[in-house]
Structure 1
Amino acid sequence: MVRAFLASILVTAGATAGALGLAPPAAADESDYLELQPQFAFLTTDQLLREGYWACRAANSGMGSSAIVPMVQQHLLYSGASLAVANKIVSTAIVELDC
């Protein structure tokens, strides 16, 4: 009886692990992220994507947004991006690009 119970637990655990392993990964939604473009027309699509994905990599490596935002602003310094613009880029990237 105990063996049957343990076997059913192992089968259930294996099936759950298999289902999770086969689940498709969450896809980044660049189109939602790029809805920032009209707000920040002074930035190109390439600049927005580059900074968004850079923010994601930084966040995934453990860096906090309080450190990421000023770095994004520094990257876009010659574009005239303010701290508020950098903050919006970082926060939107983390949500919409599935960081």
Structure 2
Amino acid sequence: MKGADAYPGYFSLNLDNDIKMEATSTRRAGLERFTLPNPNDLPASLAGGTLDIDPENGRITIGDRYGSSFGPGSDHYQAFACDDLLSSGTQKLSEYGIWTGDT
């Protein structure tokens, strides 16, 4: 890790591979953003992904698969995230959805 910044409602972390991760939240919402270094080929090498929302348990799981970023190899790598939003099942989600940032 190269550096981190944190205060109530915001956290950021610069990873060793120059990816910047940011997270922010309010009482009813949370948002994560990953900023990739330029140049990168992740949009071109995306081999598939999933996003599952389990409103009963308040769990969001995300998984992406990426192909080789160079050469003829068939290596793939994966990225995962899991967020638990509820307090041990004592709360329920009344609304949920996703935002992709596309215009």
Report the TM-score when normalising by structure 2: 0.22
Instruction: Compare the two structures and name the one with the higher strand fraction.
Output: 2
Rg comparison, structure with higher value = 1
Q: Which has the higher contact order (CA 8 A, sep 6+)?
A: 1
Instruction: Compare the two structures and name the one with the higher helix fraction.
Output: 1
Report the TM-score when normalising by structure 1: 0.22
